[in-house]
Chains A and B, each alone.
Chain A
Amino acid sequence: MNIDYSQEAPAVAGRLTLAEIEELVAKPLDTRPDKKYFIALSISGSALMIGAICLALSFYYGLGLWGNNQPIGWAFDIVNFVFWVGIGHAGTLISAILFLLRQKWRTGIARFAEAMTIFAVMCAGIFPAIHTGRPWLDGYLLPYPNQHSLWVNFTSPLLWDVFAVSTYFTVSLVFWYIGLIPDFATLRDRTSSKIKKTIYSLFSLGWRHSSRHWQHYEKSYMLLAGFATPLVLSVHTIVSFDFAVSILPGWHTTIFPPYFVAGAIFSGFAMVVTVLVFVRKIFDLENIITMDHLEKMNKVILATGMMVGYAYGMEFFIAWYSGVQAEQFVFVNRAFGPYAWAYWIMVSCNVIFPQLFWVKKFRRSIPVMMVVVILVNVGMWFERFVITVTSLHRDFLPSSWAYYTPTLYDFGILIGSFGLFFTLVILFTKSLPVVSISEVKAVAEGAQPSHHGGVVNA
């Protein structure tokens, strides 16, 4: 294939006019949901209900319904938490970092990725709250002034988590909403329904597409992007501190912060690809979310997958190099002990399968990428499982070793978190523009002033 590197590839394919873009993106909001939509919603809603029931029973009877036990204080609860926080990272990376790096191709996928960030962080946020033995006292984790003069413990990474995740959620939500304002205005202007008009008017905050508005908008968007960028690194760094700050072999590792961030981007991109492949098909967005987009994301997956693979290797090397018996044992035990199956699922899904993306044909093949990204999702969930559970199940004292077996409630809550995520995603596709109309318009052909008359070599 001949690629002309002298020209930037168009971010929008199919030579869509600005009106067509608007029409295309707004279409799902203007039409009534069809039967398929309700089927999808009922499936995800059922999953959500399963989770809700399992959670309600866990509240009623206690955490004993889960598989957690004496050495394994954390299992599915924290695995799911780290998994979902990781999923969120792709959105912020795409919307903030790629924005700052002036990557035009981000515009087609940024909105969706950001929405996924918010939904994923919502899923993630549930777990620290419900994993406690007495969730009704979770308020103790917040530093509020009280007459007992009781304060939180600022040396605990779990507390850092509370701040990191809540900050991350707030910033992501504000960032997302700011980006939505011009689109709300566009929708307000398009719609004839009175109810919709009221809602859109409310959320568009009186946006009139004036230059002054645009100027303020661009400035605040830039500022928020700058604000969100360090969060991409900090949130998962802090999540990794939950493990790295402890003294447990397998957790107490300095490589964790970069390794976790890479892993988060890896899993986040995989999740974005998983969902976008369906969205672009269902909503006829192939011209906006093009194969080029998917290929670029697959490249990121390949790169971050290699980083993660490097981290896996490096952990073993350091364990050997440190000369600490317990540390060495934990890693050998991971690969060959009772949880070897989980370890090898992780390695094959995260390191071996993404290698297919070295081949351009595979990077651009929908079926191949679907298989790989789903495996990456699975693999990254197992990565957190391997880190959390296999390190705990055989630590310092062989007398307290034990095996962890998840219960139906553990699976139910995991399913419930997916149910919540996809319910929110499905609702999102029908209630908000899944692609940023204003941003895509801005990168469409001929939208920007150009020395060559605005059109790049038609």
Chain B
Amino acid sequence: MSENLEKQSLDNNPDPNYWRSFKELYNDKETIEKKFHEFEKGVTDEFDPNENLSGLSRRKFLALLGASAAFAGVACTDYRDKGEIIPYNIKPEEITLGKPNFYASTCTGCNSNCGILIKTREGRPIKIDGNPDHPVNQGKICSKGQASILNLYDPERIKSPLRKNYNVFSETDWKSVDDDIINVLTNSGSKEIALVTHKINSPTTLKLLNDFKNEYPNTKIYSYELFNDSIRNSAWLKSYGSGNFPLINWNEAEVILALESDFLGADENRIENSRLFAQSRDVDSKKFNRLYVAESGMTLTGINADYRLSIRPEHQLEFVLGLISELKKKGVVQIPLDFNVNIYDLAKKNNLDSKKVDYLINDLSAKKGKSIIYAGNSLPEDVHIAVNLLNEILGNSKLYRKDSASVDVLPISNYKDFEELVNKIKNNQVAAVIHLNSNPVYHLPEDIGYKEVLSKFENVFSLSETMSESCQISKFILPINHNFESWGDYKTRTGIISLSQPVIMPLHNSRQLESILLTWIKKDSQSYSDTIYHDYLKTNWQENIYPKYSTSISFDKFWYSALHNGFISFTENIDSNLNFNYGAVKFENIQSSNSGFTLVLKESYSLGDGRYANNGWLQELPHPVSKITWDNYAAISHSTAKSLGLKDNDLIEVQVAERKLRIPVFVQAGNTDNTVVIELGYGREYSGIVATGVGFNANKLLSKNSDYSPWIYKNVKISKIQGKYILASTQEHHSFDIPREQDLHLKRHIVVEGTVSEYLRNPAFIKDKHQIEHESVYTPFEYKEVKWGMSIDLNKCLGCGDCVVACNVENNVPVVGKDQVLKSREMQWLRIDRYYSGSPDDPKISTQPMLCQHCDLAPCENVCPVVATTHSPDGLNQMTYNRCVGTRYCSNNCPYKVRRFNFFNYRDHFRNGYQENPVFALLNNPEVTVRSRGVMEKCTFCVQRISDARSEAIRQGRKVKGSDVKTACQDACPTSAIKFGDINNPEEEFYKYRNHELGYYSLSELNIKPNVTYIAKLRNIHSEEL
């Protein structure tokens, strides 16, 4: 046997037996045994803790040592730190750790399609800023755009394709869904394929839809917007025969009359409107426009009016024709038409001060060609035609912009088209209904019957980021990429095409909407690739856009520079040959009859048409006028409330024809009597845990045929019903009845106001009135180098709240929820205070952004027992979170009450830990500490940006300058009302505002020396009123 082995091992076989010693070669038993043990005996042994340790082997010793070290290590570990830090193994070329990258893209939050810069850190988007080069928004972006980053990281986004089985959605894979849908599409025969979408603004998407149509010829596109300017545009078409309503040079208008229009607030294009509007509210050039607003509900535009006329919406036509008649009577304008409307009768009917009407008429006649009359989207066509006429005869068409005009890539469908669709579905003429990121079940008026007919229809496919009412009745839900994960191009203006590019890989198993359609066009579920739409887009640009641009640079260069810039601009002729068609001016029923209340349905300031309902930051952004969060409500006037015996929070039933809605009442000062204003976008049923149960779905009141306009209804009934519903406001309601509580903001010099004429007479009138030099017992600290300060121009500040959301995003401010807002515990570091003065029927409103004033003699600092809040040598009032024990003494002693306390761990408290989802961690700004429970926090003047600028300055070998730093609120402010910089540097632009003749400190009598200067608000009103 051993011989055999021996022989075998010596043989030259293919698996040779290597030997290390002769003993091994000759198969010594002991040696063979040893071969199976790596170590000598005694070096190792089995571990047995019961064994006597004196016989401790080396291995056991090491094992015990290791174990004790491991146990000690684990025991000493901070159990709260559950995070993982995964470093880059290989550093990506474009990423420097700790340095943000910015990518130009386009916001798709509304149809303005503003240019944005997406700030990414280590590959994840953390902040949205406006693209400073973009001609439309010029570096500014609204609250919705700011907050859209939360939608990207919404843990409730749909994570993979869903298929409905027996009314339950279950996850499935893309292939099976695509195959099934392609099967339905190819077998549609002569039946229609309905694509339901929001307004299409992308030329490439439109091309793709046309390709889709070519592939499936029975395709029909239904595009809709709940709020749109179709009436304005059709009136324009009737008045001038071509084009869209032009863009307006608001900055050149000296007198503006807005009719039921919220052009500074909820209307589209408001970022550009606000910027241009504020350019002529400028204390430097001493240029002040005068804004008249004639409206029913108090809007953001209304609170900024110099004169506000409270008029019922159905009287607007009468009002405009009355103006024309009066101007004609005075010989200001000559027209062949005669309307015979007496404006003073109308004024009497609406309890208007006839003096205001006189002022308006005088201003319009004095500023012929330098004024603009602007009617709101919701007004009927007649009013728009009358307004076009008035602008025409006053010569105001000079203010229509000639360089750029709005364009519709694809005009939207109307309610009739949808009715046809419903009929076709009923008659079994439709193969499939595909919702392209749209939610018609929620948006369309119920009397179209869309939801009803669709819930019985089988082939409904929804392409959506999140669950929605329309997804709920679909067979398949296909998750689509967020805008920040997508490619796209947008054209809403002549001469500009914006581009959007993905800045992060899709977080979930989602695909871009256009890529899904491309897969279906190719009729092959395997044809999908990540770059499929990118290639399509690029090809389209190469074939269709690049040639028009007529440039000598190569397409690649052109493409990459367009991507880098985020947009391309080129000259595109617009039809500027305007001839007013007087034949269009035919008005019937000038005197509108109304036997009941008037209902005005408005777009929500923060939620839009409901698309942003699941966004906590926006839900918690206080309404710019009422300061209510987390709900919509029926706003009624003071005297209407009195006559109906209604108080805030009482429930009413609003009835329009047969449609009813229960909703709480809010008494809004300045609203028109017998008018109810309700904002839409609330009352979502299926949109995630944040939005569920928030507000009331007033879309139920919409109808396909209105007696006035799609958003304004007459003959509305209101009745008080049992019960109450508490609305959460961030500001205590102002009492108009108690004299000692009135005008405190003026009496205490919180807000200082004057008039333009006072200012022009004596530019130093504010200082003359209010400046008192106080003595201090302390020797002031000398700030020798940079000292940070802020100035806020109350003339430019509109009170929109964009800065509030920008601050939330920049500084990781949590959402606290309605219950906490009700307890007055909101966490926003920056708030917009709103004050009323005057009567509840015609209030004067002041707004004021309020944030930490970084006082030199900060009252908060000396009362903190643990020195958790201190002053820096560059003038900042600092918070040291680690040191704070949470006595709240600082907050008690802060006269501005800008400190915010973490009563709970709000990330855990809100909606059962919703904000503690791991996806949320990606959202946080890594430069800002996430505060724990029991800690005080407040505005830091964006100290992380200051530090960043300082380190950059050091790197460049120079000292930091005031202009190096821009705070988040300053970046966001659409009117540039916020300025930030170095108080000690006279060469900077900021210095001028810090030491402005209109500058004042809020509560200056306290002598705490704030570093925030407010520029006093000037009202452009007639001085004889004083």
A residues apposed to B, CB below 8 Å: 61-64, 66-71, 73-74, 131-135, 137-138, 140-141, 150-153, 155-159, 162, 242, 245-248, 324-326, 329, 332-333, 392, 395-403
Contact = CB atoms under 8 A, between A and B. Distances in A.
B891 A246 contact: no
12 contacts: A61-B904, A63-B903, A68-B888, A73-B889, A133-B884, A133-B901, A153-B867, A156-B865, A245-B863, A397-B850, A397-B1003, A401-B731
A343 to B, nearest CB: 15
A69 B885 contact: no
B834 interface: yes
B149 interface: no
A287 to B, nearest CB: 49
A140 B883 contact: yes
Given A62-B905, A397-B833, 19 more contacts: A61-B904, A62-B903, A70-B825, A132-B886, A133-B902, A133-B935, A134-B884, A141-B885, A150-B866, A150-B867, A156-B863, A156-B865, A246-B859, A246-B889, A247-B893, A396-B896, A396-B897, A399-B850, A400-B897
Contact of B901 (A61, A73, A150): A73
A326 B850 CA distance: 19
Interface string B848-863: 1010000000010011
Q: Report the contact-size class of chain B (Cβ under 8 Å from the partner).
A: 35 or more
A140 B934 CA distance: 14
Nearest to B741: A398
Interface string B815-834: 00000100111100001011
B895 A70 contact: no
A422 to B, nearest CB: 28
B887 A131 contact: yes
Contact of A138 (B732, B885, B932): B885
A27 to B, nearest CB: 47
A70 B902 CA distance: 10
Contact of A133 (B867, B885, B909): B885
Contacts of B820: 64
Contact of A70 (B741, B900, B935): B900
Contact of B748 (A135, A151, A325): A325
B264 interface: no
B250 interface: no
Q: Which of B820, B859, B886, B887 has the most CB of A within 10 A?
A: B887
B636 interface: no
Contacts of A158: 863-865, 887, 889
B744 A398 contact: yes
B695 to A, nearest CB: 23
A62 B904 contact: yes
Given A133-B888, A134-B935, A396 B865 contact: no
A266 B251 CA distance: 68
A74 B889 CA distance: 8
Contact of B934 (A63, A70, A141, A397): A63
B830 to A, nearest CB: 13
Contacts of A132: 885-887, 934
B933 interface: yes
Interface in B735-772: 740-741, 744-745, 747-748, 750
B87 to A, nearest CB: 29
Given A152-B867, A153-B865, A325-B748, A397 B892 contact: no
B825 A153 contact: no
In order of increasing CB-CB distance, the 4 nearest A-B pairs are A133-B886, A133-B934, A73-B888, A64-B903
Interface string B350-387: 00000000000000000000000000000000000000
A61 B884 CA distance: 18
A66 B820 CA distance: 12
Contacts of B804: none
Contacts of B863: 155-158, 245-246
Contacts of A162: 865
B919 interface: no
A143 B867 CA distance: 12
Contact of B823 (A62, A67, A157, A392): A67
Contacts of B893: 246-248
A291 B813 CA distance: 63
A64 B866 contact: no
A70 B824 contact: yes
Contacts of A137: 885
A131 B935 CA distance: 12
Contacts of A403: 732
B936 interface: yes
Contacts of B903: 62-64, 66, 68-69, 133
A91 to B, nearest CB: 27
A258 to B, nearest CB: 22
Nearest to A133: B886
Contacts of A332: 740
A401 B835 CA distance: 12
Interface string B974-1017: 00000000000000000000000000000101101000000000
Nearest to A67: B823
A61 B745 CA distance: 37
Nearest to A391: B892
Nearest to A75: B888
B825 A69 contact: yes
Given A132-B934, A157-B863, A140 B885 contact: yes
B935 to A, nearest CB: 6
Contacts of A141: 865-866, 885
A5 to B, nearest CB: 51
B887 A326 contact: no
A395 B933 contact: no
A155 B826 CA distance: 30
B649 to A, nearest CB: 14
Nearest to A158: B865
Nearest to B857: A247
Contacts of B866: 140-141, 150, 152-153
B882 to A, nearest CB: 9
B777 to A, nearest CB: 13
Nearest to B833: A399
A152 B865 contact: yes
